[in-house]
Amino acid sequence: MEVYDVTIIGGGPAGLYSSFYSGLREMKVQIIEAQPYLGGKLNLYSEKIVWDAGGIPPMPAGQFIQHLINQAKTFQPTIRTGEKVNGIKKKVDGNFQLQTTKGKTYLTKTLLLAVGNGILDPTPTPFFTNEGRQLKNVQIAVIDFEAMKQKRVFISGGGQSAIDWAKTLAPIAKEVILVYRREAFKGHESEIKRVTNGPVRCIVKADLVEKKLTPDGSTIEAVTILHKETDKEETILVDEVIVCHGFNQKNELFEQNDIGLEVFNDYYVQTTPQTKTVIPGVFALGDAASYTGKVHLIAGAFHDAINAVNAAKLYIDPKADAIGTVSTYADNLKSKVATVWKQYATE
């Protein structure tokens, strides 16, 4: 059976960059992603602008994903989507044996756990369903910005996602109402200030009391909230509802492995700053990892990916260089330089 040097579980930013860097270090790599698409959590916000990745202009998350995928494919890794790892064993020869939901078995010398926060399901709320039916104008992410033009948009939530959607939709929608049950919004201070001092109507310390549906029960046409400070109710007409109440994380990998993987603080893997877990040959990176000084940003995921791949290389070959060469001098990239320069010459 074919044996991979590196198997990356998870196809988000951390996993995709790990694929590129594994190829740079001349290792045979595969990515296994449970969802039918790559990009991880960024797919939930495909139209939102990514600002905080160094060296690239601000761009929609969906476009950023495509850049990551193209880079990940540089060294022709094996990519498996719509396939979930549901079992891990350590074999006598030292390789890890993976079983998947497709009934497949794979062997790998090392494992990179880039599983993010696990498989995300939206937290159930009264906004989502009525008598088991999905409500048409309720969503967790905006896919079609054109559809939001001149609409009254009600956003429920107070974290960074709610703030981002409010800021993005303010110049597009007829009206944006941001409602949060707690006392103060949570997120980047500058973004909160921009939203609360701008055209968005921001309401804190308010709870959902009732939602009024259209006669066919398919759509919310009004929302009634209770202002906790005054104990007064207010009914707000709405066209679209965006719910930012977080997600339930499911990571069955911690329950279905025979190598000793354990969950830390509900869904993290405890690691060293070099992404090493307590299990030799297994590394955790990106949002899945927890260590002192961990940065939960895309930039932090790239940093983790480099450390994880370098550590995997040393695990496989203790005589290898501890750090990969600068890409400028990588022999396996030299053949691609002419193609890249040609691309820039035609732009």
The confidence score (pLDDT) of residue 51 equals 87
Q: Same structural domain for residues 18 and 106?
A: yes
Q: What is the DSSP string of 267-287?
A: TBEE--TT-B-SSTTEEE-GG
Quickly tell me which residue has 């880079």 as its tokens: 71
Q: Which of 243, 259, 278 is the last residue of a domain?
A: 243
Same domain, 134 and 160: yes
Q: Give the pLDDT of residue 121.
A: 61
pLDDT at residue 127, as a whole number = 81
- 270's CB contacts (< 8 A; 6+ apart) are 262, 264, 277, 278, 290, 291
pLDDT in tens, the chain (347 residues): 899 999 999 999 999 999 999 999 999 999 999 988 899 888 877 767 888 888 889 998 889 999 999 999 999 999 999 999 988 999 889 999 999 999 999 999 999 999 986 655 666 677 876 555 668 899 877 777 888 999 999 999 999 889 989 998 999 999 999 999 999 999 889 989 999 998 999 999 999 999 999 998 899 999 999 999 999 999 999 999 999 887 666 666 766 677 877 777 766 888 999 999 999 999 999 998 999 999 989 999 999 999 999 999 999 999 999 988 787 778 888 777 767 766 666 66
DSSP codes of every residue in 204-251: ESEEEEEEEEPTTSSSEEEEEEEETTTTEEEEEE-SEEEE---EEEE-
176 with 96, same domain: the answer is no
Question: What's the pLDDT at 45?
Answer: 74
> Are residue 190 and residue 337 in the same domain, yes or no?
no
- What pLDDT is recorded for position 327? 79
Helix (H, G, I), strand (E, B) or coil at 119: strand
What sections of the chain are H helices per DSSP? 13-24, 61-72, 160-169, 189-196, 298-316, 331-345
Domain boundary among 214, 243, 272: 243
Q: Is 267 annotated as a binding residue?
A: no
233 carries a ligand binding annotation? no
Range of the domain at 315: 3-120+247-345
The residue among 122, 127, 123, 124 whose CA lies nearest residue 240 is: 127
Q: How far apart are CA 89 and CA 107, in angstroms?
A: 10
Examine the fold and report which residue of 183, 214, 243 is the final residue of a domain before the chain moves on: 243
**In whole angstroms, how far apart are CA 94 and each of 87, 107, 282, 315?**
16, 10, 12, 11
Domain count, the chain: 2
Beta carbons within 10 angstroms of residue 94's beta carbon: 10
Q: Are residues 64 and 45 in the same domain?
A: yes
Exposure on the CB side of residue 144, measured as CA atoms within 13 A: 8
For residues 246 and 73, what is the distance between their CA atoms, to the nearest angstrom? 31
Q: Is 120 annotated as a binding residue?
A: yes
191 annotated binding-site participant: no
- Neighbouring C-beta atoms of residue 155, cutoff 10 Å: 27
| 233 and 265 assigned to the same domain | no
Tokens representing residue 256 in the block: 């279905």
| Token reading at 80 | 């498996």
**In 10 A of CB 268, how many CB atoms?**
17
What one-letter code names the amino acid at 209? V
In one-letter notation, the amino acid at residue 257 is N
> Is there a contact between 291 and 270 (Cβ–Cβ < 8 Å)?
yes
188 and 201 both lie in a single domain? yes
Q: Is 85 annotated as a binding residue?
A: yes
- Kindly report the CATH number assigned to the domain that includes residue 187: 3.50.50.60
287 annotated ligand binder: yes
- Residues 6 or more apart whose Cβ sits within 8 Å of residue 194: 167
Question: Is 221 found in the same domain as 278?
Answer: no
Q: How far is CA 255 from the centre of its chain?
A: 22
Collapsing DSSP states into helix, strand and coil, what is residue 87?
strand
